[in-house]
Amino acid sequence: MDKVDAIIVGGGLAGLTAAYHLATAGRQVILLERGDAPGSKNVTGGRIYVDPIKDYLPGIIAEAPFERHVVKEIITVLDDDASVQLEYANDRWRSEPYMSYTVLRATFDGWLAEKVSEKGAFVIPKKKVDDLLWEEDRVVGIKAGDEEIGAHIVIAADGALSFMAEKAGLRKPLEPRNYAVAIKEIYRLDEKTIDDRFGLQPGEGTANLFVGAITRGMFGGGFLYTNRDTLSLGIVVGIGDLIQQKDPVAASLLMEEFAARPEVQRWIRGGELKEYAAHIISEAGAGGIPKLYTGGMLVAGDAAGFSLNLGLTVRGMEFAVASGAIAAGVADEALAKGDLSAAFLSRYEQKLKESFVLSDMETFRHARDVLENKRLFTVYPKFLSELLAALFTIGKGKKEPLYTSAKAAVRKYILNWEGCKDLFSVRKM
Amino acid sequence: MNVVVLVKQIPDPEALVAIGGDGVSLDIEQKFAMNLFDEFAIEEALRIKAKHAGKVKVITLGSRKAIEALRTGIAMGADEAVLLEDEAFLAGDGYATALVLSRAIAKEPFDIILCGRQAIDDDRGEVGPMVAQFLGLPHVGGILKLDVADGRAVAEVAVEGGKETVEVQLPALFTAQKGLNEPRVPLITGVMRAMKAQIARATAADLGLATAQAGRPGSKVKVVQYSPPKKKPAVQIIPGAPREAAIEAVRILMDVERVL
Ligand SMILES: Cc1cc2nc3c(=O)[nH]c(=O)nc-3n(C[C@H](O)[C@H](O)[C@H](O)COP(=O)(O)OP(=O)(O)OC[C@H]3O[C@@H](n4cnc5c(N)ncnc54)[C@H](O)[C@@H]3O)c2cc1C
């Protein structure tokens, strides 16, 4: 069988970055994406940090079509009928080089796909890869429909559900507990309205996170990012928690309730709903990383479990870009040597350990144990809300001294055995 | 057997379309697709080539972006593609478009011209017949079957309640109707070939046309105004047990909407 140098499965950030590097190195690359176009199926919050990725997309990152640079963070803690909002702004974030940007994947991935094509790679949408081709214990290509295409190396960058990694025997079948479901809506709102509503200068953006009653005690949270002339609103909930509910609720219902909250309405009011998407996020952390290579194949990005769901935020795009670039580097070396054995490709894992990808994943290995604590989403939001209610409420009778009300709230919610345990567990992060 | 296929790139059926402030310009989301009926035409051309040898050439009139439709044609198996690209071609009606296309087709000998029976964006279905007229050829519209032999073609077209079989002398022009065939999905290797393919271009000057003959100046029909479709009322969800809800649904259909 004729073989191309490399086939990349999946046109997300991991696959596109890998294709970019291999094509730049002069390799013959085919990238197959099942969506109508790269980015069309990709869901992210999202926000991307520049420093971790700029060396992995050298030269071109400066022209990337980001939405807005983030200059402030807003955290909203919600009780059933009350909320506390905290805003953190930092003047340093207002000047270049900017630390992080909001992004829309259809735009961003579309742009990156163009860069990849300019380098001579074949980016082919509307092609779903169905299977891998094998010669003994080595992957030697892919099957898509009736077509078989040979390749010296296959890079699986097919996202969180990666069937390629599963087919290669690198990953066990999915377990619900290890995944969260996310629902995201995009609202169109004109640029000036967004600037005014969020108190931003042109080009500036905010990242808004929501935690508390909106997930009904389940692991997760909500987000709202300002794009140029749209808002990305979404909610993330652990699937394990969702299916264990006594009275199961659909994630879509949680999304509806979330979007109806006044704390959210104040931002999205008047916006026109443009897109609705659902996606899966791995929340297994370092424990969910499959074997990362086999003869003739590497796994990158979400497919390799490289994402950190820290409840309030999800981090995966930087890992996708970095692991895609590192995979391409190793693939290029292997092609040069003509050695595509698992033994040679094992240096991929070594290189990931030396980069932030596997070291950050390791640092947060136990984060889930801490974050899965239901009290974070129920007790603590209630405590905050009651404390502030005590502070601000004045009725007919005598007002208790502030100290007394505060003490009562602390006793009720925090100063107990559970609270001490929680405090103790935070050390793990 | 040389077959020419005329294709049109149209806004993706899911693309958002807004009417401009002047009432005659359209603001269309930059998402495109090949006209569905043209895919049937390409597929039929490829089948004719498979049976009778020869070559398939796809032609489109459009902006640079329309190359994508041509590449789709090549990915499916067409041999050549020509983009008719010129400022002067823009904003033309069916007449002006058909004139330019007929000039481009006439540049080389051909046996069969195929195109879609209508473009699903403006639904006018006039370019095919007009091209046949400009070239002085027979035109068979909305074909469901095509057989070619000995310089003649036998085609089936739908008529009210049945089918009509017609015969024409080649060269002739046929417009493809849904049901003619099942268009193939391009192979990966086909897409790779298409991405590498050189696409020929032709301008008004290349076709011996004066700018006054093409585009808006060459048009006979002028768009005066676009009006948006009536806004659909919001979805109504009928609550309650299935039985009661069904009864209520029937009541609404009969008494309120009066469609039953
Ligand atoms: C709601 C949500 C919010 C998030 N927020 C953030 C954030 O703010 N910041 C951040 O850094 N990260 C965030 N993430 C995580 C981030 O989006 C992912 O980590 C990142 O998209 C992973 O990129 P990837 O290239 O590995 O996978 P993907 O972007 O998922 O790309 C995989 C691609 O493979 C294609 N594919 C799959 N199977 C096949 C097949 N068989 N054949 C062909 N193609 C196939 C898919 O269509 C898809 O295009 C968020 C994720 C979600 C869901």
Q: Which two tokens stand for residue A354?
A: 């030396």
Average pLDDT for residues B52-80, to the nearest whole number? 96
Q: Does A30 touch chain B (CB under 8 A)?
A: yes
Q: Do A200 and A339 reside in the same domain of the chain?
A: no
Pocket test for ligand 1, best of A314, A318, A356, A364 (most atoms within 8 A of CB): A314
Q: Do B234 and B149 reside in the same domain of the chain?
A: no
Which residues from B are below 8 Å from A122, CB to CB? Answer: 191-192, 195
Q: Do A326 and A392 reside in the same domain of the chain?
A: no
Q: Give pLDDT, residue A429.
A: 64
Listed in order, strand segments (DSSP E) in A12-99 are 29-32, 47-49, 69-78, 83-89
Last residue of a domain, one of A230, A248, A282: A282
What share of chain B has pLDDT > 90, as a percent? 81
Asked whether residue B222 is assigned to any structural domain, the reply reads no
Mutate to test the interface with B, among A32, A33, A122 (most CBs of B within 10 A): A122
**Is residue B83 predicted with pLDDT exceeding 90?**
yes
Average pLDDT for residues B91-107, to the nearest whole number? 96
Asked whether residue A91 is assigned to any structural domain, the reply reads no
Average pLDDT for residues B239-256, to the nearest whole number? 91
Distances (CA, A) of A263 to A44, A78, B235: 22, 9, 26
Q: Do A113 and A169 reside in the same domain of the chain?
A: yes
Q: Give pLDDT, residue B14.
A: 83
Q: Do B112 and B238 reside in the same domain of the chain?
A: no
CA distance B198 to B195: 9
Confidence bin at B257 (pLDDT 50/70/90): confident
Asked whether residue B218 is assigned to any structural domain, the reply reads no
CA distance B201 to B6: 14
DSSP state of A179: E
Residue A32 Cβ < 6 Å to ligand 1? yes
Q: Which two tokens stand for residue A400?
A: 């208790």
Q: Give pLDDT, residue A311.
A: 67
Asked whether residue A237 is assigned to any structural domain, the reply reads yes
Q: Give pLDDT, residue B239.
A: 85
Asked whether residue A41 is assigned to any structural domain, the reply reads yes
Contact A147 B188 (CB under 8 A): yes
Predicted ipTM? 0.77
Q: Give me the amino acid identity at A416.
A: N
Overall domain count for chain A: 3
Asked whether residue A82 is assigned to any structural domain, the reply reads no
Q: Give pLDDT, residue A175.
A: 85
pLDDT tens-place string over residues A113-147:
999 999 999 999 999 999 999 999 999 999 999 99
Mutate to test the interface with B, among A29, A116, A124 (most CBs of B within 10 A): A124
Q: Which residues pair with B158 in a beta bridge?
A: B163
Per the structure, the complete domain to which residue B184 belongs is given by 2-213
Q: Which three-class secondary structure state does DSSP give residue A361? A: helix
Q: Give pLDDT, residue A385.
A: 86
Question: A148 φ, ψ to 5°?
Answer: -120, 130
CA distance A165 to A152: 17
Distance A8 CA to ligand 1 centre (A): 14
Overall domain count for chain B: 2
Distances (CA, A) of B155 to A369, B163, B169, B249: 70, 10, 11, 46
**Tens-level pLDDT at each residue, chain A (429 residues):** 789 999 999 999 999 999 999 999 999 999 999 998 898 888 898 899 999 999 999 989 999 999 999 999 999 999 999 999 999 999 999 999 999 999 999 999 999 999 999 999 999 999 999 999 999 999 999 999 999 999 999 999 999 999 999 999 999 888 888 899 999 999 999 999 999 999 999 999 999 999 999 998 888 899 999 999 999 999 999 888 888 877 777 888 999 999 999 999 999 999 999 999 999 998 888 888 999 999 999 999 999 999 988 767 889 999 999 999 999 999 999 999 999 999 999 999 999 999 999 999 998 888 777 777 777 788 888 888 888 888 888 888 777 777 787 788 777 777 777 777 777 776 766
pLDDT tens-place string over residues B201-231:
999 999 999 999 999 999 999 999 999 888 7
Q: Give pLDDT, residue B162.
A: 93
Asked whether residue A93 is assigned to any structural domain, the reply reads no
Q: Which two tokens stand for residue A202?
A: 């042109």
Ligand 1, atom 15: closest residue by C-alpha? A316
pLDDT tens-place string over residues A187-219:
999 999 999 999 999 999 999 999 999 998 888
Q: Is the dihedral of CA A411, A413, A414, A417 positive or negative?
A: positive
The closest alpha carbon to A299, from A164, A133, A125, belongs to A164
Q: Do B43 and B74 reside in the same domain of the chain?
A: yes
Per the structure, the complete domain to which residue A391 belongs is given by 378-426
Q: Give pLDDT, residue A376.
A: 79
Ligand 1, atom 52: closest residue by C-alpha? A44
Q: Do B50 and B112 reside in the same domain of the chain?
A: yes
